[in-house]
Amino acid sequence: REAVKRYERILDEKGLALSIEVADTGMSIISDRSKVERIFQNVLNNAIKFTSQGEIRIKAHPAADHSSIEFDVTDTGIGIEKNKMDSIFEPFQQVDTSSHRSFSGLGLGLTVARRMAELIGGMLEISSEAGKGTRVLMKFPSQASAATSLLTEQRKYG
């Protein structure tokens, strides 16, 4: 919710609807707060940038096995063509490479978001359909899973 606050003005200006659904499970993430916020900001920035009308939906819930907390960010934006999906995580890659691009940016947002998610033990996946929108799924280890992982690492390197 805090990561969303910085985008409220632009959401209003674009007339985009935003819904946030957070399951109240008592689960938490043990992680680097600034990295998690940066990941969300990069994902939300893309969703807002590439959505000119419609909505952005954010859902947070525990994974079925409770090992992680999943965050879905779904938009009704321009989507990504299938033949461009392989390159979206490459640094400096743009979906629109024409000389008269409609969208600015360096092509680093998703690359940075995915790498940061991996650095803190999470993951980031994208599914998309051109003209219909994009879904970004992020998973971060839950408190119990993170504690187990830390103990394993200490034994391994200690």
Radius of gyration of the chain from Cα atoms? 17
For the record, the structure tokens of 29 come out as 């993430």
- CA gap 145, 67 in Å, rounded: 5
- CA gap 126, 22 in Å, rounded: 20
Q: What phi and psi values does residue 130 have, to the nearest 5 degrees?
A: -55, 130
- CA gap 142, 138 in Å, rounded: 12
- Residues with Cβ within 8 Å of residue 155, at least 6 apart in sequence: none
20-51, pLDDT tens digit by residue? 998 877 777 778 888 888 999 999 999 999 99
Tell me the pTM: 0.76
107, pLDDT greater than 90? no
List the single range of 68-77, 126-135, 143-152 with lowest mean pLDDT.
Answer: 143-152
- CA gap 56, 48 in Å, rounded: 8
